[in-house]
Structure 1
Amino acid sequence: MPLHVSPAPAPALRSVLAALGSPTAVREARTPALRSEPGPLTAEHPLPLHVLDRVSPRGGRAAAPTTRLAGWRFLIVGEDHAVAAAEAMLTPDGWAFSHFCEGPYVASTENALRRAEALPAAYQPRLLSVPELYMLTLWLHRDTTAAVDAGNPAPTDLLVPLAPAPPGIAPNLPHRVSDLLPMLTLRITPGPLLGSPA
């Protein structure tokens, strides 16, 4: 089924397009692929970028995850594929361009979106970052009408870890939140210190 992609806030898109059209911003970016792309570049596939707040076990099981909207990420597409990404973040003065980036998450995001289009259910695509694990996932939210700045991962939502994923977590495969979250919680939660009582 087609993904229900939410439109990015117009000021966020404008800030990214202004940076993309600025030779200075592109030249100063640490993205060789962006500078070497010969054709015109466009900002496509806007995705709200959420950050998973630290989760901790409660009574031997994972607490409900909470997230916060940190920005919007756009894939920067050249002739036939994404070559970089651009992020806009919310500041006290409104949406502003943050930075360009490249690397394996760009192609992995493009691939995950293509695969998600073929899933039998409808989803609202988002990105979910897990900073403690240096992990980024495509979050397929079941509530396609939800406001993009609200909502937390539901047990039946899907998370697709983007490659490279942390060791022991299969990348590029959809995992139910109810299956993946306990694994993430165990990795995030610090264990007992050596020499301290367990």
Structure 2
Amino acid sequence: MPLHVPPAPAPALRSVLTALGSPTAVREAPTPALRAAQGPATPELPLPVHVLDRITPEGISATRLAGWRFLIRVGDHAVAAAETMLTPDGWAFSHFFEGPYVTSTERALRQAEALGQPYQPRLLSMPSLYMLTLWLHGDLSDDGATGHPAPADLLVPLAPAPPGIPAHVPHRVAELLPVLTHRVTPIRLMGSPA
């Protein structure tokens, strides 16, 4: 079953297209693969980037939309990504980047397609763990910009993943969040105030 990629806001897509059309923006980007690309570069697979700032001891998580990420495809694979952010004037291009998360995202999306179940793909960033996951949301009617991980949703850690968390292995939110909660909970030392 195909993934149901939520539509990005039109201004976010326009800002990426404008940046791709700007020789200065591409030339100054820290992306050798994008600068050296032969052929047209197209933004594809817009994914909303949600940030999970904290996990409560009960495992309840609150996320906030931080931006939209587009994979920049040249030929048959992604060579970079473009990030957009919400400003007081609306959606704007933020930056181009490349690195392991670009190829890892592409790989995780292929894995998700092979699951045979419809999902809405998103990215979920967990800054306190230096972790990024492909979040496969089960409610296809959501707009992509809102919501929080449901217990039955899947999280696919992208490489590089934190030690002890295998990359590219799908986990149900209900199974992975308790493990992550344990990781981000401060350890009380003996004799320290409670």
- Find the residue that maps to 2:55 and give its secondary structure: coil
Aligned equivalent of 1:174:
170
Structure 1 residues 194 and 21, CA, compared in 2 at 3 Å: closer, same or farther?
A: farther
Deviation at 1:118, TM superposition (A): 1.4
State the match for 2:106 in structure 1.
Answer: 110
Determine the C-alpha separation between the residues in 2 that align with 1:88 and 1:160.
22
CA distance, structure 1, for counterparts of residue 39 and residue 190 of structure 2:
56
Extract structure 1 runs of 4+ deviating beyond 6 A: none
For 1:114-193, list aligned pairs within 5 A.
114-193=110-189
Once the two structures are TM-superposed, the CA of residue 53 in structure 1 deviates from its matched residue by 2.2
Matched, 1:20 2:16: no
Question: How many angstroms apart in 2 are the aligned matches of 1:12 and 1:128?
Answer: 19
- Offset at 1:102? 0.6
Aligned amino acid, residue 182 of structure 1: P
Letter in 2 for 1:39: G
> Is contact 2:83–2:93 with CA below 8 Å preserved after alignment?
yes
AA aligned opposite 1:68: R
1:197, CA displacement in angstroms? 5.0
Paired residue total: 194
Matched, 1:10 2:10: yes
- SS of the aligned residue for 2:7 comes to coil
Matched residue, 2:37: 37
Q: Alignment partner for residue 78 of structure 2, among 54, 58, 82? A: 82
**Any stretches of 5+ residues in structure 2 without a counterpart?**
none
TM-superposed CA distance for 1:90, in Å, is 0.7
**Among the aligned pairs, what percent are the same residue?**
73
Equivalent residue runs for 1:32-71 within 5 Å: 32-57=32-57, 62-71=58-67
Name the SS of the counterpart of 1:53 in structure 2: strand
CA RMSD after TM alignment: 1.2
CA distance in 2, matches of 1:115, 1:63: 26
**1:27 CA displacement:** 1.1
Summarize deviations over 1:101-144 as a string: whole Å, max 9, x none: 11001011011111111112211100000011111100000001
Unaligned segments of structure 1, at least 5 residues: none
Q: How many Å separate the matches in 1 of 2:55 and 2:152?
A: 18
Q: TM-score, normalised by structure 1?
A: 0.94
1:32 Cα offset (Å)? 1.2
Amino acid at match of 1:114: R
**TM-score, normalised to structure 2's length?**
0.96
Deviations 1:29-63 (A, max 9, x none): 11111111122111001001100121131xxxx33
